[in-house]
Structure 1
Amino acid sequence: MSTTCSTPFLSRFRWLVAVAATVTLMLLAVPAEAATAAGPGNDVSWPQCGKAMPKGQTFGIVGVNNGLANTTNPCLATELSWAGTSRGGTGQPAVALYVNTANPGTAGSWWPTSNTYGGTTVSNPYGQCTNGSVGAACSYMYGYAKAYDDANIRGVSNPSAYNWWLDVETGNSWSADQTANRADLEGMTAYFTSIGATAGFYSTSAQWSQIAGIVPASSPLYTLRSWLAGARSLTSAKRKCSDAPLTGGGKVTLTQYVSGGFDYDFSCI
């Protein structure tokens, strides 16, 4: 090949190599999060009834109750339909559910008197629930019963297909006995697990510490996932992914922040 033919070819080849190298370096310099971020999701419940809903969410989390553990969100069907339009692209399921939790004892509208509910005699790790008892055994059954109701009488089709987040907040009624409160949450988790569903916890570290305290490694709650509230922006929500989970063996997989009147959720996975 003559010099007059090869020189332009070599020059163009070297230029293409240089461009390719530059582009590669630029791509490597982009943080993985920026390159793969699909955008936040949203959570909604009874306060959004009859109101404009968020748009373009990557995933939707819908509240099953009407603010209390023994109630039904009147807009559940509509909001589940909204969540079904989620476009995906994160490590979260496109649609998930959350439920209110509580442990009101005999001050509530109903309190268990045995280990039987929904036609099933439940294997209770805290022993026999007896009439008038507000300890761990009956607290476990109360939690089991509320989870049973959430899955069977609120209007949720195919409840085993969902991840159920347990909303643990001081705004609802709780015992002063943290062991009883943990038993209540264990009862809820046990029911959801029994139907093949998964569960996790929504709370803040302060509220969780007041209600449930330190969860021992022997508890079935110990390894469950955490959804942390309390961030005030997307930036702070991203930072909260590095916060301690609510339980020692768990993992923070979601964080929440509020913007423009909507609850937004950032996926940490």
Structure 2
Amino acid sequence: MMHALRSVVVVALAAVATLLAVPGTASAAPTTVGYDVSYPQCGTTLPQDRAFAVVGVNGGLSTRTNPCLAAQLGWAWGASGSVPAQPRAQLYLNTANPGELRAQVTTWPSRGATPYGLCNGANTTACSWQYGWERAQNSVDAFFTPAARAARVDSRPASYLWWLDVETMNTWQSGSPEALARNRAALEGMTTFLTTRGGRVGVYSTGQQWAQIVGAVPAGSNLTGRDSWLAGATSLADAQASCSKPALVPGGRVTLTQYVQNNLDRNQSCR
């Protein structure tokens, strides 16, 4: 009986040693990759492994809605939130200033009190500011809020970081410092509306496109100090390096950089 017991003990100890020698299966580290999506991704399968997401509210133009906004908002809120510096669900708005083509659009304002004076319907800095305000208001109230409620996610603008998407593919004024000032005023109007609703606001562009559309931002502008989300990188390494580039506005920080991989816009947090 003692021999049999010793045999059992030896076998048991060997089994324990074997278990200790085999490393346990480690949990996969949570991803730190973020994605941005909008109407071009409607009907596609979106990544399930995501740290955060930025969703486009508009359908390419500031006057149009993203037709699958509700579904994409629900997807965004399912992000892991594994990057503390980045809110799980963020938003971006298309921007523009069609003041030079105002006879061809129905959304150019005809009135409004602005920091640049009264808008009277002309192609002025005041009306550019008012245009930006109205486009942001429409994007929030007519597009975002109903979609967020349909998705059963937070519909308060104050709960989001809003990025202003500034790209040359949209309609902008050009040809003079005054034209750039009017473009800047449109972005200031959007920023004012969003901040009065409690939202945080940042700006998205490349340095080259920002210089072409907006130019230098003066100290008194409410764009000063805004965080920058830089586009243009073609790889993760390039995006990481872009974190060291200058911000788009004085006093700002580059907090997010975008790169493309497998036909998807991915994003690297710089903090």
- On whether the aligned pair clears a TM of 0.5, the verdict is yes
Moved over 6 A (4+): none
User: What is the count of residue pairs matched by the alignment?
Assistant: 226
Match of 1:178 in 2: 180
- The equivalent position to 1:234 in structure 2, one of 227, 236, 239, is 236
Q: CA deviation at 1:109?
A: 2.9
In the alignment, is the contact (CA less than 8 A) between 1:217 and 1:249 conserved in 2? no
CA distance in 1, matches of 2:31, 2:270: 12
Which letter maps to 1:103? Answer: N
Q: CA deviation at 1:84?
A: 1.1
Match of 2:95 in 1: 101
Q: CA deviation at 1:55?
A: 2.1
CA distance in 1, matches of 2:139, 2:224: 23
Q: Deviations over 1:159-185 (max 9, x none)?
A: 221111000000000112000000000
Which ranges of structure 1 fall in alignment gaps of 5 or more residues? 1-35, 116-121
CA distance in 2, matches of 1:72, 1:126: 29
SS in 2 for 1:72: coil
Q: Deviations over 1:126-179 (max 9, x none)?
A: 001003x11100000000000101110004222221111000000000112000
Query: Sequence identity of aligned pairs in percent?
Result: 48
Match of 1:114 in 2: 111
The answer to whether 1:125 aligns with 2:123 is no
SS in 2 for 1:69: coil
The answer to whether 1:82 aligns with 2:82 is no
* RMSD of Structure 2 on Structure 1 (CA): 1.3
- The equivalent position to 1:205 in structure 2, one of 204, 207, 224, is 207
CA distance in 1, matches of 2:61, 2:267: 22
Match of 1:261 in 2: 263
SS in 2 for 1:230: strand
CA distance in 2, matches of 1:263, 1:129: 38
CA distance in 1, matches of 2:198, 2:162: 11
CA distance in 1, matches of 2:108, 2:241: 41
CA distance in 2, matches of 1:168, 1:93: 21
CA distance in 2, matches of 1:152, 1:159: 9
SS in 1 for 2:117: coil
In the alignment, is the contact (CA less than 8 A) between 1:127 and 1:137 conserved in 2? yes
CA distance in 2, matches of 1:96, 1:187: 20
- The equivalent position to 1:191 in structure 2, one of 193, 197, 200, is 193
Matches within 5 A, 1:28-177: 38-90=31-83, 91-105=85-99, 106=102, 107-115=104-112, 122=113, 124-131=114-121, 133-156=122-145, 157-176=155-174, 177=179
State the TM-score, normalized to the length of structure 2.
0.81
Q: CA deviation at 1:110?
A: 1.5
Which letter maps to 2:80? Answer: R
In the alignment, is the contact (CA less than 8 A) between 1:216 and 1:222 conserved in 2? yes
SS in 2 for 1:51: coil
CA distance in 2, matches of 1:72, 1:95: 18
